[in-house]
Amino acid sequence: MKRILITGANGQLGNELRLAAERYKQHEYYFTDVDELDICNKSEISHFVESNKIAVIVNCAAYTNVDRAEDQPELCYRINHEAVQNIADVACENQLKVIHISTDYVFDGKSSFPYTEEMPVAPVTVYGKSKLAGERALHERAGNAAIIIRTSWLYSSFGNNFVKTMLRLGAEKDRLNVIFDQVGTPTYAADLADAILQLTTSTHFVPGIYHYSNEGVCSWYDFTKAILNTSKIRCEVLPIETKDYPSRALRPHYSVLNKHKIKSTYRLNIPHWKDSLERCLEILTGC
């Protein structure tokens, strides 16, 4: 039986991992958030790992407010870089395996075809730069025992996210303006959670960087239309350009991830984003 530590357990992905873990009962899971374990404190991590004989750390903890990060770079780097460095050091000292969640924001979004793991990174936001710094710290210190999973457009029935925001706004308003010139793939956190636990329980642990999202491609406009139509919410959705919706941080125009590596290495079957959205909306709305 493996003892698996999951950080950031109160977030979208952490909560989905709690549910998914019920299907992988052959292992013992320790779900922690900042109140139980401060990953910015290396000694706390070391004590927890040694006391509980942890074999695998799944790091879901992150500073994810992309706009606020522009004004809080120190805090953002503390969580997304320095805390990951702490985890890497403890993993190296205790010979642990690590699975760390990263983001499509490590790219600049200027590609015109899906990003592979080997393509050059060029983050343009504080958030993206901090996540890349975390990736590099983990690779340098524990690269031989670490898997980094980059994902995109994460949503869930837990927490705050785009799907829940559109459901609320669609019910409140007669018309919504949504960006159509940013393209990517939504990722249902429940699907990512299941994939993570397949990796943690596999005897075939291959370290490296992997990309994971649901299958298919859409814009935020297309995604919103699907959310509202599936939920039977009558609200007009109008497409607008990025320049008509200014934000504090730049958003990538293209965030499609190539998933061939993780599918071929771990034989994963990844659902299409529309099918996964329907599953999530059934939980949220009963539709």
The yes-or-no verdict on residue 202 having pLDDT over 90 is no
CA 208 to CA 198: how far, in whole Å? Answer: 16
CATH classification of the domain holding 18: 3.40.50.720
**Is the residue at 177 inside a domain?**
no
**Is the residue at 243 inside a domain?**
no
**Is the residue at 123 inside a domain?**
yes
What does the pLDDT look like over 121-180, one tens digit per residue?
999 999 999 999 999 999 999 989 999 999 999 999 999 999 999 999 999 999 999 999
**Is the residue at 280 inside a domain?**
no
**Mean pLDDT calculated for residue range 28-53:** 97
CA 196 to CA 89: how far, in whole Å? Answer: 22
pLDDT of residue 6: 98
Domain that holds residue 111: 3-159+187-214+258-271
**Is the residue at 236 inside a domain?**
no
Looking at every residue in the chain, the average pLDDT score rounds to 96
pLDDT of residue 246: 86
CA distances from 141 to 5, 37, 81, 86, 145 (A): 19, 21, 13, 10, 9
**Mean pLDDT calculated for residue range 227-236:** 97
The yes-or-no verdict on residue 287 having pLDDT over 70 is no
How many structural domains are present in the chain? 1
What pTM does this model have?
A: 0.97
C-alpha 20 chain-centroid distance: 16
**Is the residue at 172 inside a domain?**
no
**Is the residue at 96 inside a domain?**
yes
* Beta-carbon contacts of residue 35 (< 8 Å; ≥ 6 apart): none
pLDDT of residue 15: 98
The answer to whether the beta carbons of residues 213 and 153 sit under 8 Å apart is yes
> Pairing relation of β-strands 56-59 and 97-103?
parallel
* Beta-carbon contacts of residue 165 (< 8 Å; ≥ 6 apart): none
Residues catalogued as catalytic: 127
**Mean pLDDT calculated for residue range 208-213:** 98
Helix (H) or strand (E) holding 17: helix 12-21
The yes-or-no verdict on residue 26 having pLDDT over 90 is no
Residue of 262, 259, 255 whose CA lies nearest to 112: 255
Paired tokens of 222: 């297309």
**Is the residue at 71 inside a domain?**
yes
Cα angle 229, 230, 234 (rounded to 5 degrees) comes to 35
Confidence at 1, pLDDT banded by 50, 70, 90: confident
Between the CA atoms of 187, 188, 190 and 191, what dihedral angle is there, to the nearest 10 degrees? -50
Confidence at 95, pLDDT banded by 50, 70, 90: very high
